[in-house]
Amino acid sequence: MVTIYDTEALEAIRRRTAVQPHRMKLFRNALFKNARDWDAALETLPENARADFARSVDFECLDLAERHDSEIDGASKLIFQTRDANLIESVVLRPKTGRTSVCVSSQVGCACYCSFCATGMMGFSRNLTTAEILDQVTQSNRVVRPEGRAIRNVVFMGMGEPLLNLDNVFAAVDALKAAPLFNLTGSRITVSTVGIPDAMNRFTSEFPDVQLALSLHSARQAARERLMPQARKYPLDELREALVAATARGKVMIEYLMLAGVNDREEDYLALENYLKGLSVHVNIIPFNEFAGGDLRGTPLPERKRFAARLKAAGFDVTLRYSLGSDIAAACGQLVQRKQKESVA
Ligand code: SAH
The whole-number pLDDT of residue 241 equals: 97
* Ligand 1 binding pocket, CB closer than 6 Å: 116-117, 157, 161, 192-194, 215, 255, 257, 286, 288-289, 332-333
Whose CA is closest to atom 12 on ligand 1? Answer: 215
Same domain, 97 and 190: yes
Same domain, 98 and 13: no
Same domain, 303 and 187: yes
The whole-number pLDDT of residue 202 equals: 98
Total structural domains within the chain: 2
The whole-number pLDDT of residue 74 equals: 82
The whole-number pLDDT of residue 343 equals: 47
Same domain, 252 and 121: yes
Is 332 catalytic? The answer is yes
Same domain, 152 and 29: no
Same domain, 176 and 274: yes
Query: What is the C-alpha to C-alpha distance for residues 91 and 42, in angstroms, rounded to an integer?
Result: 28
Same domain, 204 and 98: yes
Domain boundary among 58, 81, 101: 58
Tell me how far the alpha carbon of residue 139 lies from the centroid of ligand 1, in angstroms. Answer: 23
The whole-number pLDDT of residue 336 equals: 57
Whose CA is closest to atom 1 on ligand 1? Answer: 161
As a whole number of Å, the CA-based R_g of the chain is 21
Same domain, 109 and 218: yes
Q: What is the pLDDT along the chain (345 residues), one digit of tens a residue?
A: 899 999 999 999 999 999 999 999 999 999 999 999 999 999 999 999 999 999 999 999 999 999 999 888 889 999 999 999 999 999 999 988 779 999 999 999 999 999 999 888 889 999 999 999 999 999 999 999 999 999 999 999 999 999 999 999 999 999 999 999 999 999 999 999 999 999 999 999 999 999 999 999 999 999 999 999 999 999 999 999 999 999 999 999 999 999 999 999 999 999 999 999 999 999 999 999 887 667 899 999 999 999 999 999 999 999 998 776 666 666 665 665 555 555 443
Q: Which of 97, 9, 22, 115 is nearest to 56 (CA)?
A: 9
Same domain, 284 and 334: yes
Which ligand 1 atom sits nearest the alpha carbon of residue 215?
A: 13
Is 89 catalytic? The answer is yes
Residues β-bridged to residue 284: 255, 319
Tell me how far the alpha carbon of residue 207 lies from the centroid of ligand 1, in angstroms. Answer: 22
Domain carrying residue 20: 2-58
Whose CA is closest to atom 3 on ligand 1? Answer: 157
Same domain, 194 and 244: yes
Same domain, 140 and 215: yes
Tell me how far the alpha carbon of residue 48 lies from the centroid of ligand 1, in angstroms. Answer: 49
- Give the CATH number of the domain where residue 221 resides: 3.20.20.70
Same domain, 74 and 27: no
Ligand 1 pocket, mutate which of 89, 215, 295 (most atoms under 8 A from CB): 215
Tell me how far the alpha carbon of residue 121 lies from the centroid of ligand 1, in angstroms. Answer: 13
